[in-house]
């Protein structure tokens, strides 16, 4: 793009067709921070340009980032939902967002471009009315912030006085560069940045179109995903009832726990009382166990005594048997020796036999009685051992 400057601008300005290729930073404009003009335009000229360029770069990065995020969200949404209607809503929303971003980008481009593309007639008209040595860059900024339908003569007198004061202050300051090459470099650098931004916007438009075409292709995959989702939905319906049943069971258990938690002290008291009762029962059983052990020792001692008595009775029985045998031998000898009459002998024999059988029968009865007592004690001992074994476990 060529920068055209009139010969009337003079003061070292080069020819109108001067065209300069530069790779420098954006324009270097001088600022003045006084008066209404400074507050409105002059003070922030370079800062505005830098902020606009930074905002454009940020906007372009955000557009690229958002498109990448939208693409990732689309894939995730297609995999999770697979609904055509969801895809359509997403496409509509994405299209509106892209259009809004493009509109904002166009607005920034217009704001930036207008500074360098002010009507030359307006610039020349203002140049004649402003103080000398104002500088082409300053004139362009002043022209940009002055409405087209309002001339300097239409402005209020007070405003014009403020403008003249600012012009006097500006005239006292070192004049900005009036070198056409420097101005050309500044403006050329700004236009190069603008062209680069336009190319970036073009690439972003192409990327957006490619993305939209891919969205159209991917929307055809939504039908397959919908079929898969139908299968998943069927499986979900089959398992929903089972999950609801489990939920009801868990809810029932939860309600029971909640009821128990409502009265924790009462539940704790019951548990404490149960523990106390168990401890008392344990102590009682321990005492009963000790008493049973003592009783068992007593019964064992009694059994030993009875065993000794039985042994003695057996010995007595044996002695009686030997005595009976001796008596019988005596009877036989007496039968051989005695010449007494049979009646006397028979009476004597009956008397002796009666005397011999009487203690023998009594001994038999006593032995049987002791045996019965021993059997009874052994049975009771067995029952005690069963009880002891039960409580020892």
Question: What pLDDT shows up at residue 31?
Answer: 39
The secondary element (H helix, E strand) that includes residue 53 is helix 45-80
Regions of the chain where pLDDT drops below 50 = 1-43, 112-113, 115-116, 137, 175-176
Question: What pLDDT shows up at residue 280?
Answer: 82
Question: Considering all CA atoms of the chain, what is the largest pairwise distance in Å, rounded to the nearest integer?
Answer: 201
The secondary element (H helix, E strand) that includes residue 288 is helix 264-337
Residue 311 in contact with residue 371, Cβ under 8 Å? no
The first and second tokens of residue 170, run together, are: 């500006």
Residue 167 in contact with residue 131, Cβ under 8 Å? yes
Question: What pLDDT shows up at residue 312?
Answer: 80
Q: Of the candidates 229, 228, 382, which has an alpha carbon nearest to the alpha carbon of residue 303?
A: 382
Question: What pLDDT shows up at residue 120?
Answer: 56
d(CA 227, CA 224): 5
Per-domain residue ranges for the chain? 7-229, 279-392
Question: What pLDDT shows up at residue 20?
Answer: 36
Q: How many distinct helices (H) and strands (E) make up the chain?
A: 9, 0
The first and second tokens of residue 264, run together, are: 């924790």
Q: Of the candidates 10, 200, 212, which has an alpha carbon nearest to the alpha carbon of residue 98?
A: 212
d(CA 16, CA 4): 4
The secondary element (H helix, E strand) that includes residue 350 is helix 342-392
pLDDT tens digits along 241-273: 777 777 788 778 777 767 766 666 666 677 777
- Between the CA of residue 52 and those of 2, 26, 103, 113, 141, what are the distances in Å? 23, 11, 15, 11, 15
d(CA 106, CA 95): 16
Question: What pLDDT shows up at residue 372?
Answer: 75
- Between the CA of residue 70 and those of 34, 57, 62, 63, what are the distances in Å? 47, 20, 12, 10
**DSSP characters over 352-370:** HHHHHHHHHHHHHHHHHHH
The first and second tokens of residue 142, run together, are: 């002043």
d(CA 330, CA 327): 5
Give the position of tokens 């074994």. 389
Question: What pLDDT shows up at residue 275?
Answer: 76
| pTM of the complete model | 0.21
**CA dihedral angle for residue 203, residue 55, residue 187, residue 191, rounded to 10 degrees:** 10
- Between the CA of residue 163 and those of 131, 177, 180, what are the distances in Å? 10, 22, 26
The first and second tokens of residue 196, run together, are: 């680069």
Question: What pLDDT shows up at residue 70?
Answer: 66
């Amino acid at each position: 793009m060529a920068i055209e400057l009139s010969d009337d601008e003079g003061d070292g300005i080069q020819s109108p067709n001067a065209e300069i290729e530069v790779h420098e930073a954006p324009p270097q404009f001088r600022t003045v921070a006084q008066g209404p003009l400074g507050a409105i335009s002059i003070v922030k000229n370079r800062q505005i340009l830098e902020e606009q360029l930074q905002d454009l770069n940020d906007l372009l990065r955000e557009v690229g980032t958002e498109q990448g995020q939208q693409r990732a969200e689309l894939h995730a949404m297609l995999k999770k939902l697979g609904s055509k209607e969801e895809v359509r809503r997403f496409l509509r929303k994405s299209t509106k967002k892209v259009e809004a971003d493009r509109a904002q980008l166009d607005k920034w481009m217009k704001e930036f471009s207008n500074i360098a593309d002010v009507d030359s007639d307006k610039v020349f008209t203002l140049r004649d009315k402003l103080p000398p040595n104002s500088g082409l860059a300053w004139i362009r900024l002043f022209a940009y912030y002055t409405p087209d339908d309002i001339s300097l003569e239409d402005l209020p007198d007070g405003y014009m006085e403020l403008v003249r004061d600012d012009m006097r202050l500006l005239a006292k300051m070192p004049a900005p560069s009036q070198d056409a090459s420097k101005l050309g470099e500044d403006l050329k650098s700004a236009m190069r940045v603008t062209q680069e931004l336009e190319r970036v916007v073009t690439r972003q438009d192409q990327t957006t179109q490619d993305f939209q075409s891919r969205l159209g292709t991917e929307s055809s995959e939504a039908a397959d995903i919908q079929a898969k989702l139908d299968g998943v939905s069927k499986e979900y319906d089959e398992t929903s009832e089972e999950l609801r049943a489990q939920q009801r069971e868990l809810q029932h258990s939860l309600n029971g726990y909640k009821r128990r938690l409502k009265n924790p002290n009462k539940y704790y008291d019951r548990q404490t009382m149960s523990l106390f009762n168990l401890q008392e029962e344990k102590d009682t059983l321990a005492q009963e166990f000790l008493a049973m052990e003592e009783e068992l020792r007593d019964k064992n001692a009694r059994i030993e005594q009875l065993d000794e008595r039985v042994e003695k009775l057996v010995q007595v029985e044996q002695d009686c048997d030997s005595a009976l045998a001796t008596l019988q031998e005596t009877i036989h000898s007496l039968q051989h020796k005695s010449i007494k009459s049979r009646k006397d002998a028979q009476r004597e024999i009956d008397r002796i036999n009666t005397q011999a059988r009487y203690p023998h029968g009594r001994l038999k009865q006593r032995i049987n009685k002791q045996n019965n007592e021993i059997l009874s004690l052994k049975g009771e001992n067995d029952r005690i051992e069963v009880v002891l074994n039960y409580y020892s476990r």
